[in-house]
Amino acid sequence: MALKSTICKATLQIADMDRGLYATHALTLARHPSETDERMMVRLLAFALNVPADDHDGNLVFARGLADADEPDLWQISLDGQLRHWVEMGQPDERRLAKASGRADRVTLYVYSSAALIWWAGVQNKVARLNNLAVWQLPAAQSQELAQLASRSMQLQVTVQDGAIWVGNADRSVEVHPTLIKARAP
């Protein structure tokens, strides 16, 4: 018998002073049986950092990710059906990134394990030509601290100011400092 996804609910209060975005989102996440708390929390963080201020060009939504090889973790599809933003987690191979880059207007990847920079050294030259790809590295210790905030029902506050991010609940807070290791071409 196949294991089923675990349903998690999160209320995310976002105060992103860098983008002038202040919003509350009630989210439902299907946590794949093979997904760790760390990865799920990185998905939530990616949502908070990429959610658009309005829905004029479509909403950012959780896709099937691990459950479907043809879908990212998050995506934004415009009202006319155009794939605007593909958001990926982890360490995908360069073929997956090239496919995403060909399908979407922009692609954002968040890498977060202690082996992230080793992985990046192996694929960096292969994805250098992907002009619409941005790659962010989250320090492993900080993403592991994010995992400690995970639960089936979460009330989280995300504050972004001057590139620093604070994610917290009523009991604790985690400070995250992502590093841009590949920027999108202007």
- Token pair of 97, please? 């990134």
Taking the chain (186 residues) in runs of 10, the rounded mean pLDDT of each run is 79 96 94 89 96 87 71 91 94 94 96 93 95 97 96 96 96 96 92
Q: CB 45: neighbour CB atoms within 10 A?
A: 27
Distance (Å, rounded) from C-alpha 147 to C-alpha 58? 29
Token pair for 15:
């105060």
Q: Is 147 helix (H, G, I), strand (E, B) or coil?
A: helix
Q: How far apart are alpha carbons 48 and 15 in whole angstroms?
A: 9
User: CA 66 to CA 92: how far, in whole Å?
Assistant: 11
Look at residue 46 in the predicted model and tell me its pLDDT: 97
Rounded Cα gap, residues 172 and 184, in angstroms: 34
Give CATH superfamily name and number for 6-182. Restriction endonuclease-like alpha-beta roll domain (3.10.640.10)
In the prediction, which pLDDT does 67 show?
56
Residue 66 is predicted with a pLDDT of 54
Q: Per-domain residue ranges for the chain?
A: 6-182
CB-neighbour burial class of residue 33 (10 A; exposed 0-12, middle 13-18, buried 19+): exposed
Give the per-residue pLDDT at 25.
Answer: 96
